[in-house]
Chains A and B, each alone.
Chain A
């Protein structure tokens, strides 16, 4: 299986009384809380951490896109990914991803992703999220009633831009571009692997199945809450006659590894409580722009509430709504499965169970979260790589991962000038 190292890049110095004094971490979080000189250090720490994870042997490093967000300092994940393309050599670069409807023209995504793919020698995983309500409808002012149609059309434009050999005219409902002809073209042919992070909507599952894309459930609520969603996904795959190849799916999980469970609790409680207490403090007024959630998903949500089904916390709910009902103390965080903690053996055992029960071949791990400092993050990352990863890597070896990047041959790759090797410096 693939073990991928994901960074959200949270601002690590939100005040202790953030929940009391500020209405929201997202959309209208106050600029007085942002100190650019402190953020200079944070960005450089975060990028060090991503590079370190690559050095430690994780299969991929992952970045994502958020706007006006105190727990996600990457309005442009592509900027970070381009730097990582130069500072890593064999690790896949998972940009999870670009919210297609926010780019005008969406051709920009085809171009920038192609650049990253070319610079990195074909290591890009291209993530295409719709984006949260906070990012898309509020921070970026997109009309929620048109967002999904715009997303789907932008997807069509990007895929054609990557694959058509001749200059073409794109005559879309929302995008009209007379001359589409991107330079550069991606190394990976016919295109980089496409992964789609989404909530629990049946429409998204069907679309991923139809397009043969990876579906990723990126929730902050761990495997217990994710179970119903992933079960729904696999039931739908079965209904559509798709195989149970675990590499059709990705799943996000917070993890803290220590020498023992108590050691892990001592190490990670503060950072976890910072994340679930401050970083997910989102004003519910940003939760439900009308039209963002499709009527099909609303219907499924109301029906699952009526039935008190396990997935009622997910179905028909937007990111913001889910965030409103979150445990914020370490006991609740661990008991609910948001964060998996323990000794290496205990963590490996739990992750194996997660991977097998959810049938997920791509585990995206958050080993830095909240205000975790670089030292603790490195400890977590290294211990996981050394002691947990070997216990899990062989899982699902009977399946082929058809959705993994296919880089160019080593002997054709550019020689990157030496930079400070982090492992050697220790």
Chain B
């Protein structure tokens, strides 16, 4: 794994990290719950064949405290759109996971002409009381790794402070990512995304970890039924909610083939 190019763009006065790596047609990726405190193998796999651009969401690692000025869902959608524009992702293929998948879906729904192909890994944003998503903010600390990934060690490795990290600021940054997600989705995870899904015109791949314990797989069918364009669902064997962390090669291959 080699390091990506790291740029920053201004979003509402916050210097927001944008990673860039690889060559070929642009493919954007928006990270899931907890964000990306470090570069991960999944992104390298994408970068083998594409120019991967990874903007941080406000409040997520790399996103400073940008979430603190976003008070409504409209604020969030406009901030993410700004991020898309400044990262060069308007008109590109777009992928996202979990929180990021929900925002990618919003981009494709509100600006349907500006997303070429869409790949969503277990997006948040819907709530059906007959099969409710898990509450990621009402968990004992020890339960979170196994909730997010099929292999809890994968999550722990993502969140472990690297050598030389500030031992005070690092854990605060990880809590901040959870707070930013809460700011969007508290308390139910229902952002009424279902109302906007029919506007999505981009062909859409729905990816679900076989053992997703956050978003039940039944949401793939709910989302599929509402999508305006062509769509397909694939299950990634052995993966949890953040399938791109548990099974980076399989998740990347699925996205690369869908957007090729």
Binding site for B on A (CB under 8 A): 137-138, 141, 143-146, 173-174, 283-286, 288-291, 295, 298-299, 302-303, 306
- Collect the chain A residues with CB atoms within 8 Å of residue B182's CB: 143-145, 289-291
- The 4 nearest A-B residue pairs measured at CB: A291-B179, A290-B178, A145-B183, A290-B179
Closest to A143 in B: B186
Does any Cβ of A come within 8 Å of B163's Cβ? Answer: no
How large, as a class, is the contact surface on chain B? Answer: 20 to 34
- Residues of chain B within 8 A of A290, CB atoms compared: 137, 175-176, 178-179, 181-182
Known contacts being A285-B138, A290-B179, A291-B179, is A145 close to B172, with CB within 8 Å? Answer: no
Q: What's the nearest-Cβ distance from chain B to residue A284, in Å?
A: 5
When the two chains form the complex, which single residue of B138, B139, B171, B180 contacts A145, counting CB atoms closer than 8 Å?
B180
A-B contact pairs, 14 of them (CB 8 A): A137-B187, A138-B138, A144-B182, A145-B182, A145-B183, A289-B182, A290-B137, A290-B182, A295-B172, A295-B176, A302-B168, A302-B171, A306-B167, A306-B168
Contact B168 A145 (CB under 8 A): no
Minimum distance in angstroms from B178 CB to a CB of chain A: 4
For residues 64 through 95 of chain B, which have their beta carbon under 8 Å from a beta carbon of chain A? 67-68, 71
Tell me whether B179 and A144 are in contact (CB under 8 A): yes
Q: For A174, give its contact among B71, B172, B178 (CB under 8 Å).
A: B71
Asked whether B71 lies within 8 Å of A146 as measured between CB atoms, the reply is: yes
Find chain B residues with CB under 8 A from A143 CB: 182-183, 186-187
The number of A-B residue pairs with CB atoms under 8 Å apart is 65
Contacts of A303 in B (CB 8 A): 168
**Which A residues touch B195, using CB under 8 A?**
none
**In the bound complex, CA of A106 to CA of B8 (Å):** 40
Q: Which of A145, A284, A286, A288 contacts B67 (CB 8 A)?
A: A145
Which residues between 119 and 159 of chain B lie within 8 Å of chain A, taking CB atoms? Answer: 137-141, 143
Name the B residues within 8 Å of A291 (CB-CB).
175, 178-179, 182-183
In the complex, A145 Cα to B182 Cα: how many Å?
7
- Nearest Cβ on chain A to B161's Cβ, whole angstroms: 12
Give the docked Cα–Cα distance between A290 and B182 (Å).
Answer: 7
Closest CB in chain A relative to B185 CB, distance in Å: 9
Q: In the complex, how many angstroms separate the beta carbon of B50 from the nearest chain A beta carbon?
A: 33
A302 to B171, CA, bound (A): 9
Question: A145 vs B67: C-alpha distance in the bound complex, in angstroms?
Answer: 9
Partner of B139, one of A285, A295, A298, A299: A285
B residues less than 8 Å from A138 (CB atoms): 138, 187
The interface residues of chain A lying within 8 Å CB-to-CB of B175 are: 290-291, 298
Q: Which residue of B71, B140, B168, B181 contacts A173 across the interface (Cβ within 8 Å)?
A: B71
Interface string of B187-206 (1 = CB under 8 A from A): 10000000000000000000
Q: Check B71–A298 contact: CB distance below 8 A.
A: no
| A144-B186 CB under 8 A given contacts A290-B175, A290-B178 | yes
CA distance A155 to B186 in the complex (A): 23
Q: How far is the CA of A301 from the CA of B230 in the complex (A)?
A: 51
Cross-chain contact B168 with A286 (CB below 8 angstroms):
no
- Given A285-B139, A290-B137: A145 and B179 interface contact (C-beta under 8 Å): yes
CA distance A289 to B71 in the complex (A): 18
Determine how close the nearest CB of chain A comes to the CB of B184; give it in whole angstroms. Answer: 9
A286 and B138 contact, CB distance less than 8 A: yes
Q: Closest approach, in angstroms, between the C-beta of B133 and any C-beta of chain A?
A: 15
Interfacial chain B residues near A283, Cβ < 8 Å:
140
Contacts of B176 in A (CB 8 A): 290, 295
B140: A residues at CB distance < 8 A: 283-285
